[in-house]
Amino acid sequence: MKLNTKTRYAVMALADMSNFPRKKPVSLRDISLRQSISLLYLEQIFLKLKKNNLVKSIRGTNGGYILNKDPKEIKLSEIFLAIDEKVKTVGCTKESKKGCNGKSTKCITHDLWDELELHINTFFEKKKLSDLAKINQNKIQ
Amino acid sequence: MKLNTKTRYAVMALADMSNFPRKKPVSLRDISLRQSISLLYLEQIFLKLKKNNLVKSIRGTNGGYILNKDPKEIKLSEIFLAIDEKVKTVGCTKESKKGCNGKSTKCITHDLWDELELHINTFFEKKKLSDLAKINQNKIQ
DNA sequence: TCAATACTTGACTATTTTAGTCGGGTATAT
DNA sequence: ATATACCCGACTAAAATAGTCAAGTATTGA
């Protein structure tokens, strides 16, 4: 059970941006250098973030991206949604209406995974981008 | 972010077993039929569960597996551990001591993922096998 | 005793997902 | 004009997943 890099990098990149004044565009090149993330990969990620209105883009020299909202207002769940990362603990979701293992009944663990999903999603709803402050960049002990 | 089938099936299978008296061995064949899980796959899974002392095996005709503890005593976290499913939200763990992205400092999101990991693991520590009762097998609405 | 049942083990494999890269754009500032 | 920096779809190598397969061993019951 692990997070994909796209989502992790998205959070990292946005957290990076939130360390700078919101008015000036931040270029992907700079983020790439500071956070050691491939520039080409960042481009892919930011297209999604833009489509989902988390950032706006400014082209040309001295261009870059700008956060659309104050970091205090940006929930991690929004970022996850933008990147398409679904916290789906299991195949038999409520949406599928199909039951687990192709049967019309819930599998024996169905409610458990539902509960876990809710648990995790609640965590991401509560966390804001602003919670990842510079203070986090300490040495590992 | 999703759970692998091995872990899910392990929980399903053990939950299935816990619906029957603990003294009589439950064969994988029966579990396979009731829960629609491949028998060959179940065999692989139960070897792990056995190695980690969650079940004991009885060979031969009328053989099968027996839970080593009361379902009330079996934490889901134990099952996860047995199957090797690690809730590792990210590469830069405390254990690696290496820092994120090869640097000696924590990445900007390091503490976040740590916190998430703890959050999820706490959930599994609290959940017992007995919490997945027969009552869960309702129709999907 | 001997056939059937059921666990044991390691190796193998097709498919899917992940984690990117590549190539060719377009818009803007200087 | 030219360099910068965003835009976009298609592609791909590598890893993980979700199993299967072959060849056992131990035990029971007829």
The whole-number pLDDT of residue A126 equals 96
Predicted confidence (pLDDT) at residue B93 exceeds the cutoff of 60 = no
The answer to whether position B74 is within a domain reads: yes
Predicted confidence (pLDDT) at residue A6 exceeds the cutoff of 90 = yes
The answer to whether position B140 is within a domain reads: no
Averaged pLDDT for residues B51-70: 97
The answer to whether position A141 is within a domain reads: no
The answer to whether position A140 is within a domain reads: no
Averaged pLDDT for residues A77-92: 82
The answer to whether position A139 is within a domain reads: no
The answer to whether position A24 is within a domain reads: yes
The whole-number pLDDT of residue B100 equals 64
Angle at B124 between CA B112 and CA B117, to 5 degrees: 15
Averaged pLDDT for residues B110-123: 92
CA distance B138 to A85: 29
CB spacing of A90 vs B139 below 8 angstroms: no
A-chain CB neighbours of B31 within 8 Å are none
E strand intervals along chain B? 55-58, 64-67
The whole-number pLDDT of residue B33 equals 96
CB spacing of A1 vs B103 below 8 angstroms: no
The whole-number pLDDT of residue A97 equals 46
Q: Any CB–CB contact under 8 A between B131 and chain A?
A: yes
φ, ψ of residue B136 to 5 degrees: the values are: -75, -15
CB spacing of A119 vs B123 below 8 angstroms: yes
B-chain CB neighbours of A36 within 8 Å are 101-103
Q: Per-residue pLDDT tens for A111-131?
A: 999 899 999 999 999 999 999
CATH number at residue A26: 1.10.10.10
The answer to whether position B141 is within a domain reads: no
Question: Cα A66 vs. chain centroid, distance in angstroms?
Answer: 16
In this structure, what is the dihedral angle of CA atoms A102, A103, A104, A105, given to the nearest 10 degrees?
Answer: -120
Predicted confidence (pLDDT) at residue B141 exceeds the cutoff of 90 = no
| Burial zone of B62 (CB within 10 Å; 0-12 exposed, 13-18 middle, 19+ buried) | exposed
Provide the phi-psi class of A30: left if phi over 0, else alpha when psi is between -120 and 50, else beta.
alpha
Secondary structure (3-state) at A139 = strand
CA distance B55 to B46: 8
* B70-99 residues touching A, CB cutoff 8 A: 76, 85-90, 94, 97-99
Percent of chain A at pLDDT above 70?
A: 82
Range of the domain at A77: 5-134
Q: How many structural domains is chain B composed of?
A: 1
Predicted confidence (pLDDT) at residue B10 exceeds the cutoff of 70 = yes
Question: Quick one: pLDDT band at residue A29, thresholds 50, 70, 90?
Answer: very high
The answer to whether position B27 is within a domain reads: yes
